Amino acid sequence: MRIAVDAMGGDKAPQEIVKGSVLAAQLVSDAEIILVGDENKIKHELTLIRTTPKNISIHHAPQIVGMDDPATHSIRQKINSSITRSVELLAKGEANALVSAGHTGATVAAATLHLRTLKGVRRPGIAISLPTRYGMCMIIDAGANISCKPLHLYQYGVMASTVCKYLMNIENPTVGLLNIGEEDAKGNDLVRETFSLLANSPLNFVGNVESREIFDGKAHVVVCEGFVGNVILKFAEGISKSLLMTIKTEAMNSFWTKLGMFLCKPIFQSLKAKMDFAEYGGVPLLGVNGICIICHGRSDARAIQNAIKAAVKLAKTKVNEHIISELEKSGKLTAEVA
């Protein structure tokens, strides 16, 4: 199992990326980790850590895609960037999966360009998992595709449902459509057309889901277009952080609340962990012909380590083969709409 890690991507690259990769290499001994990026810089980081596990190697890529670079353009111009080279390793079969905390748009563009989409898939989608009161809810797409058509959303439902089934062992995952009301006729043209596609599919469709219902566990998978999904992802991050900070600040107002907060520390630690993207490490880009794990730009060593573990798990589950087969089951529908 070979994992290509974009060593130059992310706010804390290459330091934390290299550190996380070394941790993962020590933990997952049957994985070979290929650090893709500037050889000298990576070697320097490895020297600082003072240990280079045998299952770590370096693949030199001198260029870096900056966070401000336009996605598609940078992929075409910077053909020797760590992102493009990582994707190429996957495309050539020299790696089984990739992990990147770099420019999300560039990673999606490079993956779509070099790996192509899976048979039948129109657009790849990013699947994020939000903790609910009853487990997790997978929301797709979180920003890969902001020009969605009903068929794209339908296929997101199939792909995420497949991940829930084969990776999380949920027998018949429920799929909902993010909408602004429960009634069938609610929403804009995109969601109304998607509603009828989902309702007439073999998926376990539970209808429209309002955003407040995500946390009630109304569906295992909630489908939405990338702009809305991205807003949700970042809003969840912002509001959780803001709420916890407000609680902490208000607790400082009196001795008794300060003491109360001290006693409640374990709760807040567990809550923080639940909401911490570093715990999840990364999220899969579903629909491309390869395993791609996209990490938060702020990823630290622990996040990278968890992302590599997730990549190994996804690759071992052969999730893409299952996605193709599930999409084929609804092949007639796909052809009809296309």
Which of the residues 292 through 331 are near a copy of itself (CB under 8 A)? none
176 or 187: CB nearest a copy of itself: 187
Helix (H) or strand (E) holding 2: strand 2-6
Residues 6+ apart with CB under 8 A from 187: 179, 180, 181, 195, 208
Q: How far is the CB of 86 from a copy of itself (least distance, A)?
A: 22
Q: How far is the CB of 256 from a copy of itself (least distance, A)?
A: 5
Of 90-98, 153-161, 204-212, 300-308: span binding a copy of itself (CB under 8 A): 204-212
199 or 245: CB nearest a copy of itself: 245
Q: How far is the CB of 285 from a copy of itself (least distance, A)?
A: 16
Which of the residues 236 through 275 are near a copy of itself (CB under 8 A)? 236-243, 245-247, 250-251, 254, 256-257, 259-268, 270-271, 274
Q: How far is the CB of 238 from a copy of itself (least distance, A)?
A: 3
Per-residue b/e over 81-107, b at no fewer than 16 CB within 10 Å? bbbbbbbbbbbeeebbbbbbbbbbbbb
50, 54, 92, 133: which one binds a copy of itself (CB under 8 A): 133
The yes or no reply on residue 219 touching a copy of itself (CB under 8 A) is no
Q: Print the binding letters for residues 171-190 with a copy of itself: x by CB under 8 A, - otherwise.
A: -------x-x--x-x-xx--
C-alpha 289/C-alpha 336 separation (Å) is 23
C-alpha 178/C-alpha 228 separation (Å) is 9
147 or 169: CB nearest a copy of itself: 147
- Cβ(44)–Cβ(17) under 8 Å? no
Q: How far is the CB of 105 from a copy of itself (least distance, A)?
A: 8
Q: How far is the CB of 103 from a copy of itself (least distance, A)?
A: 10
Residues 6+ apart with CB under 8 A from 90: 4, 96, 97, 98, 111, 114, 115, 290, 291, 292
Q: How far is the CB of 135 from a copy of itself (least distance, A)?
A: 12
Residues 6+ apart with CB under 8 A from 202: 329, 330
C-alpha 122/C-alpha 124 separation (Å) is 7
48 or 267: CB nearest a copy of itself: 267
183 backbone dihedrals φ, ψ, rounded to 5°: -65, 145
Dihedral through CA 66, CA 72, CA 78, CA 80, nearest 10? 100
257 or 317: CB nearest a copy of itself: 257
Could you give the 3-state DSSP secondary structure of residue 32? strand
Per the listing, tokens 């779509």 go with: 112
146 or 199: CB nearest a copy of itself: 146
| Per rule CB under 8 A, count of chain residues that contact a copy of itself | 58
Q: How many CB atoms lie within 10 A of CB 226?
A: 23
169 or 270: CB nearest a copy of itself: 270
Strands annotated E in 27-167: 32-37, 56-60, 97-100, 125-132, 135-140
Of 3-11, 25-33, 205-213, 305-313: span binding a copy of itself (CB under 8 A): 205-213
The Cα diameter of the chain in Å comes to 67
Residues of the shown chain interacting with a copy of itself in the complex, contacts defined by CB under 8 A = 68, 70, 132-133, 143, 146-147, 178, 180, 183, 185, 187-188, 210-216, 224, 226-228, 230-232, 234-243, 245-247, 250-251, 254, 256-257, 259-268, 270-271, 274
